Structure formats: structure tokens, C-alpha cells
Amino acid sequence: MGEDHQHLFIDFEFTMPERSERFKGFYPEIIEAGIVSVVNNQICEKFSSYVSPVRFPVLSDRCKSFLNISQEQVDSGISFLQLLNKLQEFSSNYPKNTVVTWGNMDMKVLRKNCDQAGVPFPINGKEIDLSMEYKRFFGDQNQTGLWKAVQEYGKEGTGKHHRALDDAMTTFNIFRLVEKDKRYLQKHEPTTIGDRVDFSKFLNEFA
């Protein structure tokens, strides 16, 4: 993480449908955003806001219950275009950006929402799905949930699960742990049997 390189840890919460004519043609929309800007391993800025959905403005009971979110909270949130402006602002602060999310849904939904609104994607830079990196690194067969992953490290998640900023912070914490493990493995190459046994001393005993 160099001085000209920003890592953006992003988490979004989305609308959820129910079986109803009201949700015909449904696609998920962002209703809460959490962003953590990190440069040189230091947190530079945090951003958190509810976002008002456009296509399906009334939340389903399932969505409110699962995310513990109210209609009033999203109604008083920023607009989707204001969220895009904020993302663009973050992206333009540094020449190099890497977006880190847990899973690929956050960026998929952001792209879909941009397409539906007829606006360009706001972030330039590389994208990392940390859940896949984690899966490859530990050789897991299945993708692990965010909070299960942090507990496997013997830690606890930050704040509450399914709160966007708390999940973005938890993603940052796992990223640091995985990067530390990667560096450790690079420095400690497996020794050969020749490194472990001094054969000259061993042979002298039989001379």
C-alpha cells in the first residue's frame, strides 16, 4: 500500500424482494453504503449512509427484518446519484485505487444500478473479491461468510453484521490478517532436509 495507492473497502446492503406483484421485474438496489479509505495501512476516511432506492422504493418486510432497517431510514438517506458522487470523489483522490469487497455482489449490484440509472461506473481501479482470495489462500472448498472468516482468525467482527460500515471495517481487518500471513509465508520458505540436518557432522560419527 504505497502513498499514491488507495485501498477502498466497500460494503453495500441491498433491497430484497418478496413474492408479490409489487416486486415484478425486481433487481436489488443499494440502500446502505459503508466505505473505508486506507492509504499506507492507515485509515484516511470512513463514510456511511443510507441510500434511497428508486425502482422499488418501499422495502419488503423480509428486507426490513433481515437487515434490521426501517423505511424511514432509507427514505431519509442520500440519493443513488449522491452516492456515486461520493464514490467518484474517493476514486479521484489517488492515481491508483484497489476496491476490496467480501464477495462479488457489491460491485455487480453497483454496476446494475448504474446501468439502470444510465450513468457511468464511478470507480477506476482494480477490484479484489477478498472472499475468493481467502478461499484460495486457505484451500477451502466453499466460500466463507465474512464474520465466520474473522472468527476463524480468532477475532470478532467490528460492530454489527449487516451494517455496511461495520462490514467494510471487518473486511479491512481480514485483509490485513491475510496480507500478514502471505508475507510470513514468503519469508519462511519450507526448509529442505539438508537444511535441517548437518550431514558433515552426521558422517563424521561414522568415519
Q: Which residues are catalytic?
A: 13, 162
What DSSP string describes 148-160?
A: HHHHHTT---SS-
Alpha-helical (H) ranges within 41-189 are: 61-67, 71-75, 80-92, 105-117, 130-138, 146-152, 164-187
User: CA–CA separation, 90 vs 73, rounded Å?
Assistant: 24
Q: Which of 59, 37, 34 is nearest to 157 (CA)?
A: 34
Q: Is 148 left (phi over 0), alpha (psi -120 to 50) or beta?
A: alpha
Quick one: cell of 86? 461520493
Closest CA relative to residue 107, chosen from 18, 33, 203, 22: 33
